[in-house]
C-alpha cells in the first residue's frame, strides 16, 4: 500500500519591492478601515501580509507613515474624481449631478478608503479635502449666481452647505446602502440642492426676525 506523502506547503511567491509595498498598503487599508489606526498594530499588518515586522518598517518606517500614505492616496482619488466632474463643460445642474455621482461612486467603490477618511484620525484631512471641494463648487456657483443677478459673494456659504449635504448623506448611505441605489440617492440630493438654488431670494432674511 503506497504511503501517503505529507502535503506540500504552497511556495510563497516572491514579490518585487514595489509589489510588496502595494500589498502592505492594501492590507493596512483594510485594517485601518476596520479598526482605525489606534486599533491596528504593525504586528497585525505584518501577520496578515505574511511578512516579518522589519519588512513593514523597511518600506514605511512605521505605522504612522504607512497610515499617511493610505490617507494621501484616498484623498487624491476622491479629489481627482470630483475635480474631473466639476471641470467638465455643461449646464450647472449637469455639473452638480456629475459631482454628486462622483462622490457617491467613491463611497461605493472605495468603501474602505471612505471609512478611513470620514472617521478617526483622518478626520482632519477629510475636512481639508471637503474645503477644497467646496472651493471648486463655489466657482461653479459664482457663475450661476452672476447669471441670475445674485450676489456672487454669497456663493461661498452655499457651496459649503452643498458639499456638507452630499458628504453627510454619503456617510449615511454607506451604512444604509439598502435604502436605494446610487443614481436614486444622487437624484434626491440634486433635487433638494437644485430646486433650493433655483428659488433663492436675492436678500434672504429670517422669518422670525421680519
Q: What local confidence, expressed as pLDDT, does residue 120 receive?
A: 72
Q: What local confidence, expressed as pLDDT, does residue 7 receive?
A: 47
pLDDT higher than 90, residue 210: no
Residues 50-71 have a mean pLDDT of 95
Farthest CA pair distance, the chain: 99
Does 47 or 92 have the greater pLDDT score? 47
**Whose CA is closest to 203, among 153, 164, 160?**
153
Nine-digit cell string for 209: 426676525
The helix, strand and coil proportions of the chain, stated in percent and rounded to the nearest 5, come to 75, 0, 25
- For 110, the enclosing helix (H) or strand (E) is none
Superfamily the domain 70-198 falls into: Tetracycline Repressor, domain 2 (1.10.357.10)
Model confidence at 13, in pLDDT bands (50, 70, 90)? Answer: low
Cα three-residue angle 187-172-122, rounded to 5 degrees: 120
Rounded to 10 degrees, the C-alpha dihedral 143/145/148/151 comes to -130
Q: What local confidence, expressed as pLDDT, does residue 5 receive?
A: 47
- Span 150-188, pLDDT tens digits: 999 999 999 999 999 999 999 999 989 889 999 999 999
Extents of the domains making up the chain: 70-198
- Span 93-136, pLDDT tens digits: 899 999 999 999 999 999 999 999 988 777 788 899 999 999 99
What are the CA-CA distances from residue 171 to residues 12, 133, 166, 176 (Å)?
A: 39, 16, 9, 9
Residue pair 116/29 in contact by the 8 Å Cβ criterion: yes
What is the rounded CA–CA span in Å between residue 165 and residue 171? 10
Please give the share of the chain, as a percent, with pLDDT higher than 90: 68
Q: What local confidence, expressed as pLDDT, does residue 9 receive?
A: 42
pLDDT higher than 50, residue 51: yes
Instruction: Specify the pTM.
Output: 0.83
Amino acid at each position: 500500500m503506497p504511503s501517503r506523502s505529507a502535503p506540500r506547503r504552497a511556495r510563497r511567491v516572491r514579490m518585487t519591492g514595489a509589489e510588496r509595498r502595494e500589498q502592505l498598503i492594501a492590507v493596512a487599508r483594510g485594517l485601518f478601515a476596520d479598526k482605525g489606526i489606534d486599533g491596528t498594530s504593525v504586528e497585525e499588518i505584518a501577520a496578515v501580509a505574511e511578512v516579518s515586522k522589519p519588512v513593514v518598517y523597511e518600506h514605511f518606517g512605521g505605522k504612522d507613515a504607512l497610515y499617511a500614505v493610505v490617507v494621501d492616496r484616498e484623498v487624491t482619488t476622491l479629489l481627482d474624481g470630483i475635480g474631473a466632474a466639476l471641470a467638465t463643460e455643461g449646464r450647472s445642474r449637469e455639473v452638480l449631478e456629475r459631482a454628486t455621482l462622483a462622490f457617491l461612486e467613491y463611497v461605493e467603490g472605495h468603501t474602505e478608503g471612505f471609512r478611513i477618511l470620514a472617521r478617526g484620525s483622518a478626520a482632519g484631512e477629510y475636512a481639508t479635502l471637503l474645503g477644497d471641494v467646496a472651493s471648486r463648487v463655489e466657482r461653479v456657483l459664482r457663475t450661476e449666481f452672476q447669471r441670475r443677478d445674485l450676489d456672487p459673494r454669497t456663493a461661498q456659504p452655499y457651496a459649503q452647505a452643498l458639499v456638507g449635504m452630499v458628504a453627510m448623506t454619503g456617510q449615511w448611505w454607506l451604512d444604509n446602502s439598502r435604502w436605494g441605489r446610487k443614481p436614486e440617492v444622487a437624484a434626491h440630493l440634486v433635487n433638494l440642492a437644485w430646486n433650493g438654488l433655483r428659488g433663492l431670494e436675492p436678500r434672504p432674511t429670517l422669518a422670525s426676525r421680519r
